[in-house]
Amino acid sequence: MSQQLQGKVALVTGASSGIGEATAVALAEAGAAVAIGARRADRLAGLAQRLTDAGARVLTLDLDVTDEASCRAAVAATVSEFGGLDVLVNNAGVMLLGRINGADTTDWTRMVNTNVLGLMFMTHAALPHLVERKGAVVQMSSTAGRTVRAGTGVYNATKWGVNAFSESLRQEVYQDGVRVVVVEPGIVATELREHITDADAKASIVRSAESIRQLQPEDIANAVVWAVTQPAHVSVNEILVRPTDQGW
């Protein structure tokens, strides 16, 4: 891969698996120094070793995006280690599907805190540095931020929130040269659905996923790299990526 991001610095949240892991790899392959953040330190260590062995500059971050102080510390550590920040990828998220009636509302709190507030905290902490470097923020949304289905309402609400926040952000920072990219994947072969606590909802999404050719994390990572390596006058604001077989 060409070194289009040589000299750039990227921070990826939720980097211990799935889309976050693949995105960190892709950004490093494109030449960026990469800060990788997540709560699972063992998984991060393995990824960091692979990236280092491949010649990348890597920083591991013990990051809980639901904790604003942790978000500020992660950004500060990245800037201290690498001298700045050019790309923030807000990938950390959870998908705890289930019907509204009878729901375990602790799932709702967890989704809102991670998918919405966590993304906002990271964006807020990183923004001064992104303005300084005329960088980019990539928000990992979902097709659930565009289409609503029964049994996914609160997850939908978090992703619609991500999209609304990101468009407002874009209107605030475009004159500073900062680009805001919203990526909306369809079904991707990741661990995301393994954490669903509602048995019926989990079985339903697993059936749907297994019935189609799913996207791979690398498909989304490639889209992220493509967006952030466009010329400075080009701002790719929204990327919707579904599996060919996904009809919703």
Is residue 174 part of the annotated active site? The answer reads: no
Tokens of 219: 């498909």
Q: Among 205, 187, 194, 201, which residue's Cα sits nearest to residue 243? A: 187
Does residue 137 contact residue 90 with C-beta atoms inside 8 Å?
yes
Catalytic residue (choose from 82, 108, 121, 155): 155
Q: Which helix (H) or strand (E) holds 19?
A: helix 18-29
Q: Nearest CA to 154 among 207, 212, 201, 220?
A: 201
d(CA 229, CA 26): 12
CA-based nearest residue to 228, from 31, 44, 14, 19: 31
SS3 readout for 53-79? HCCCCEEEEECCCCCHHHHHHHHHHHH
Alpha-carbon separation of residue 68 from 13, 151, 175 (angstroms): 13, 30, 27
Query: Residues with catalytic annotation?
Result: 155
